[in-house]
Structure 1
């Protein structure tokens, strides 16, 4: 967890100094001016600026600075604007506090029962819905039970958690054994851990799989958290990890009517370079063109990555039964399936994709609703 931020008012020359652990720095007048809360500068409902911050004078300065009586500071800027800032609000902005739960890596020992939720309760109770969203944002997947098995119910669930993304497979797709299907998912063969559609831009953020019928003894669903696996790979093979992180790979999908190709690295990161997931599908990728030494290292790293994804210490296996639906972060949590025998009986799932930001939007809306209710009371 980052060290707490403390702000110091400096009178001459006028400035605000920030102290965060052993790190000390002066806040830029441009940074401060952009954070104005004045009603003539910021529209209160949308919180959007009424001025163009990109047009500010690069040489903007603090003309004067005066400490207030309520943990605030009054600043006059060289462009004539004056603003009173709450020091705790500025410190929180620097700290980067988020209301969203942090991702919690997991392995095969995860308490799966704690990530199962009753769909009927979610529909009836915002508290239950909030708990399911919190679990999803932390662990990257949840399983809903007692979801009716009538066709297209998956679209109702998808709309509850976000926005359904239509692809060349349609708004939703049918997963059952059929020899003419345009993807190996439509066979009864085993599918190793993978991310869906790494050839698409953007990659679908979230996947839902709803079981309508499962009369087979095989076809177990598998999930594995890439965050936990990547931490192990980085420890074991730091140079190979960096190569997978920074080297674009070609992913390609081809059928009778469609060809989709894109290039992206196998390890997905945020703006600060921290891993958030992977783009991984041995059925669809190609080795990048590197020199012989780097090609060998790249292959060793991806080989080890695949071994870790299949390691029973990381992989969680379970049977998805009729009326159960699993929702997972398509880049963070890899999914797969063991082989099954279609002669045993019918196995039919429906799937769809959601944009990544849906659950976060729903989570934030529930927090705002709860805050508004508290204010009313």
Structure 2
């Protein structure tokens, strides 16, 4: 829940004091000057500054502060700038207000109808497309149905939700059993929960898997929400959780044509230290060099993480049928599959990656479009 901020205006000497109910502190004139709301200081469409805020005099002072009403104050600065500030706008800067829905951790009890959407309606109905984007931002994955199974259709779907990211596997890749493939995904063996390409920098943000043919009874898709699992891991072993969050490990990929290596923590966090996902692939990581006690603690924590990822409490399993497409946050939602028997029939999927900011951009654009229509109406 956002913190409620109150602004106290002092006229002599002029100052603006921020009070969040627990602490109070004076706001720097530099911070206030940079957050100008004046029309001649900001380009109206982009809200980008029309001046170089880095060139503001370091010795800038607040010459006067006059409160007009509950929400407005007139501020005058030593550089000659004077304007009326809306304190609600400043509060929005501090509250971290966002137009995007918050992530909602889930377990195996999630009603999967919340994340199933008809691709034909997604393409044709902006409000329905927006609903699918909202579901993705909340739960970290979608299943689209009614997707034609012609080759490269996955690129059209990917382009609708964001920007396709090309890798050494190409713009898209084929997933079917072939013994000479350069990844275990190209075998019929079971794949445990994992994130794709943790050795790449940056890690692909979103993965799509489109089922073209599935004639087997095995090969069930598995998904697990790392945010829900991490809540439990942090409760069970806070010290181990802290190690996984702060100690980088090596991830490495090698095939006949290339080698990719990077170091990153197993638990991914935002700038405030809150978990946003994991980098997890037992086939590709390596224990960091720590003292024996910390090595054992680190290993116990990652071992427990792996146990929780396959716990039926958290893992969902389902058959991805022909014409269905799975789209998921590659770091938040781990994916895998059960083994299948190639003698039963053919199983063929296509996959591709998207940059992670695509769905947010699409969601914001649809909100702006909706708001502009409502203003006209």
**TM-score when scaled to structure 1?**
0.98
Q: Return the offset for 1:21.
A: 3.0
Contact 2:107-2:315 at 8 Å conserved across structures = yes
Contact 2:2-2:96 at 8 Å conserved across structures = no
Deviates more, 1:191-200 or 1:46-55: 46-55
Task: Tell me the C-alpha RMSD between the 2 structures.
Answer: 1.0
Superposition pairs for residues 243-322 of structure 1, below 5 Å? 243-322=243-322
Deviates more, 1:42-51 or 1:329-338: 42-51
Residue 324 of structure 1 corresponds to which residue in structure 2?
A: 324
SS where residue 121 of structure 2 aligns? Answer: helix
Q: Return the offset for 1:69.
A: 4.3
Deviates more, 1:287-296 or 1:351-360: 287-296
Gaps of 5+ in 2: none
Q: Return the offset for 1:70.
A: 7.0
Q: Return the alpha-carbon distance in structure 2 between the equivalents of residues 39 and 101 of structure 1.
A: 30
SS where residue 169 of structure 1 aligns? Answer: coil
Q: Return the alpha-carbon distance in structure 2 between the equivalents of residues 340 and 275 of structure 1.
A: 34
Residue 133 of structure 1 corresponds to which residue in structure 2?
A: 133
SS where residue 65 of structure 1 aligns? Answer: strand
Q: Return the alpha-carbon distance in structure 2 between the equivalents of residues 43 and 254 of structure 1.
A: 49
Is residue 86 of structure 1 aligned with residue 86 of structure 2? yes
Q: Return the offset for 1:23.
A: 2.8
Residue 190 of structure 1 corresponds to which residue in structure 2?
A: 190
Q: Return the alpha-carbon distance in structure 2 between the equivalents of residues 149 and 93 of structure 1.
A: 46
SS where residue 343 of structure 2 aligns? Answer: helix
Contact 2:176-2:187 at 8 Å conserved across structures = yes
Residue 350 of structure 1 corresponds to which residue in structure 2?
A: 350
Q: Return the alpha-carbon distance in structure 1 between the equivalents of residues 124 and 41 of structure 2.
A: 41
Q: Return the alpha-carbon distance in structure 2 between the equivalents of residues 239 and 58 of structure 1.
A: 43
Gaps of 5+ in 1: none
Q: Return the alpha-carbon distance in structure 1 between the equivalents of residues 274 and 167 of structure 2.
A: 29
SS where residue 250 of structure 1 aligns? Answer: strand
Q: Return the alpha-carbon distance in structure 2 between the equivalents of residues 18 and 141 of structure 1.
A: 39
SS where residue 356 of structure 2 aligns? Answer: coil
Residue 375 of structure 2 corresponds to which residue in structure 1?
A: 375
Superposition pairs for residues 199-238 of structure 1, below 5 Å? 199-238=199-238
SS where residue 263 of structure 1 aligns? Answer: strand
Is residue 161 of structure 1 aligned with residue 150 of structure 2? no
Q: Return the alpha-carbon distance in structure 1 between the equivalents of residues 127 and 337 of structure 2.
A: 32
